[in-house]
A and B are shown apart, each in its own frame.
Chain A
Amino acid sequence: MIEFVNVVKKYDHDVCAMDNVSLRIEKGEFAFLVGPSGSGKSTFLKLMIKEEEPTSGKILIDGKDITRIKKKDIPFLRRKIGFVFQDFRLLYDRTVAENIIFALRVIEAPEKDIKTQLKSVLQMVGLVGKENYYPNQLSGGEQQRVALARALATKPPILIADEPTGNLDPKTAEEIFKTLIEINSRGTTILVVTHAKDIVNELNKRVIALDHGKVVKDDVRGVY
């Protein structure tokens, strides 16, 4: 599903953010990407959605080398990858439902699918009944659920979460992870960048550790 082959990413002044990284994440897998600040986690995610170009190497998403796709095809690559941010990135002047519908409009989803898809993702993240609330009327955990629902609305086969619980208390964080695992059980490949050591250790999933742009650890049932 996701494959990095000898990927090197150098920024100006020869800063090496990705140093010959090769790894493969299978379809339906759940993996954590961990490491200290500046280890290359963000670069890894940016390379996946083609926000950055590798200096050398190949990146395959769904079997397709994305380093070779044209600029105009980038939106279609991104539709395969749902993205959840640490700070939720919601539209605060729109309701929960409108935030989710926004994503469906962006991918130009057919009108008839919008309502059913909205209902389905609200159920998936446990926000039924909150569709007409504005994000500010919700707790942090609920806001992150809205962000999750928005990322899932377009039915991407891959979900990336960049520090999804970084702004949340431990109990809420745990609930968010439970939801992620449930989403994963329905077939979505999930890659989570996190510092939540306890949760990583508790969940017993694959852990990929990066440091100075190198994969320093990759355990199928790993710990932080």
Chain B
Amino acid sequence: MSTNTYLIKEGYDNLNKHGSKTISTMLIICATMLILGIFIIILQNVNKNVETLRLEQGLQAFIEDKATDEDIAYMEDELKLIDGVSEIQYMNKAEAYEDAREQFKDQEYFLEGLENLDIFPASFIVKFTNIEEADRIKEEVEKIDGIYNVKYNADTIDAVISISKVANYFLLGVGLVLLVVSVFIISNTIKLAVYSNKREIFIMRYIGATNSFIIKPFIVEGAIMGIVSALISFIIISIVYVYIYGALNSSYALGIFKFIPYSTIWYQILLAYIILGLFIGIFGSAVSLKKYLKV
């Protein structure tokens, strides 16, 4: 058995020695990780959906009433010159009226008598290749002569974004609090381990153990707790996500919202969990060792 194998074994033995404490510690870390996992998943899903919506719907540039056919052709040429525009679609007044009728399908009485009044402006629907460039493109479109108003074609997106932002901040806040709690809980468990190994540590110091030899088993203990919690959380969240995905994605309950298939995000979650688990475990142990071992 090499020294490192021995130290890992010592760390593992420590875990067994304090079985119930180990389990309760891991439960709390799992709770933290599940909350953070939900946060990551919601964020990923909302971002992906917003992006899809924006890409699909693009923006709408309204044309001044006085514009002639020539002006409109000029505007279209100008639009074509803008970098990142993937598609331009002209909608004349008649089409705009049709579009409005489509939107107010169930309340057509709103539009009664308006068909010949020419009140719906003609516009361009502009789509882009990359959602990141939407704002720049919007600004450039606004500068074109004859265009008096530009808006994203999906106002609902903004509402979704602001709700998701609030939800994300809330989850992030809860997650951070739980993260601090987890580090504290691990450091407390390690404190207990240090205390119960006091005799060993005392003897080790007299025999000539280096600091790293003394602390490694405790770091291993913390890291194992972190990693095992990460794996348990990963399994739980995977099962729940796949279940929710199956149950909700096929129904119309969520309207246009579509869940991302789990196959595209599982590795991000696993990676985040393992990094988080190691961080909580190692940092938690280190905090305790610094305080109680004076290393």
Partners in one complex: yes
Instruction: Give A53-81 interface residues, CB cut-off 8 Å to B.
Output: 72, 75-79
Cα A91 to Cα B196 with chains together (Å): 12
Q: Decide: A49 and B206 in contact? CB cutoff 8 A.
A: yes
- Give the contacting residue for B207; candidates A72, A78, A111; CB below 8 A: A78
Cα A115 to Cα B209 with chains together (Å): 20
Q: Which residues of B contact A103 (CB under 8 A)?
A: 207
Of all chain B residues, the one with the shortest Cβ separation from A103 is B207
Interface status of A5 (Cβ within 8 A of chain B) = no
27 intermolecular pairs with C-beta atoms under 8 Å apart: A75-B205, A75-B209, A75-B211, A78-B206, A78-B207, A78-B208, A79-B208, A83-B206, A83-B207, A89-B203, A89-B206, A91-B199, A102-B200, A102-B203, A105-B3, A106-B204, A106-B207, A106-B208, A106-B209, A107-B207, A107-B208, A107-B209, A108-B3, A108-B213, A111-B2, A154-B207, A154-B208
Cα A154 to Cα B206 with chains together (Å): 12
Given contacts A75-B210, A89-B199, A91-B199, contact A105 B205 (CB under 8 A): no
Of all chain A residues, the one with the shortest Cβ separation from B6 is A105
Q: Which residues of A contact B206 (CB under 8 A)?
A: 49, 78, 83, 89
Cα A49 to Cα B205 with chains together (Å): 10
Instruction: Give A17-71 interface residues, CB cut-off 8 Å to B.
Output: 49
Leading 7 A-B pairs by shortest Cβ distance: A79-B208, A78-B208, A75-B208, A106-B209, A106-B207, A108-B3, A75-B210
Q: Which residues of B contact A77 (CB under 8 A)?
A: 208
Instruction: Give B201-260 interface residues, CB cut-off 8 Å to A.
Output: 202-211, 213
Q: Which residues of B contact A76 (CB under 8 A)?
A: 208
Instruction: Give A193-220 interface residues, CB cut-off 8 Å to B.
Output: none
Q: Which residues of B contact A (CB under 8 A)?
A: 1-3, 6, 199-200, 202-211, 213
Of all chain B residues, the one with the shortest Cβ separation from A147 is B203
Question: Contact flags (1/0) for A94-133 with B, using CB distance below 8 Å?
Answer: 0000000011011110010000000000000000000000
Cα A72 to Cα B213 with chains together (Å): 12
Given contacts A79-B208, A154-B208, contact A106 B213 (CB under 8 A): yes
Q: Which residues of B contact A49 (CB under 8 A)?
A: 206
Q: Chain B: interface secondary structure? A: helix
Cα A72 to Cα B210 with chains together (Å): 7
Of all chain B residues, the one with the shortest Cβ separation from A83 is B206
Q: Decide: B207 and A89 in contact? CB cutoff 8 A.
A: no
Of all chain A residues, the one with the shortest Cβ separation from B2 is A111
Cα A79 to Cα B204 with chains together (Å): 10
Cα A150 to Cα B208 with chains together (Å): 12
Q: Decide: B202 and A89 in contact? CB cutoff 8 A.
A: yes
Q: Which residues of B contact A91 (CB under 8 A)?
A: 199-200, 203
Instruction: Give A130-161 interface residues, CB cut-off 8 Å to B.
Output: 150, 154
Cα A111 to Cα B213 with chains together (Å): 16
Q: Which residues of A contact B205 (CB under 8 A)?
A: 75, 78
Cα A72 to Cα B3 with chains together (Å): 19
Q: Decide: A111 and B1 in contact? CB cutoff 8 A.
A: yes
A156 → chain B, closest Cβ, in Å?
9
Q: Which residues of B contact A75 (CB under 8 A)?
A: 205, 208-211
B43 → chain A, closest Cβ, in Å?
45
A157 → chain B, closest Cβ, in Å?
13
Cα A79 to Cα B203 with chains together (Å): 12
B187 → chain A, closest Cβ, in Å?
24
- A-B contact sample (15 more), CB < 8 A, given A72-B210, A75-B209, A75-B210: A78-B207, A79-B208, A83-B206, A89-B199, A91-B200, A105-B3, A106-B204, A106-B208, A106-B209, A106-B213, A107-B207, A108-B3, A111-B2, A150-B207, A154-B207
B162 → chain A, closest Cβ, in Å?
55
B74 → chain A, closest Cβ, in Å?
77
Cα A77 to Cα B205 with chains together (Å): 11
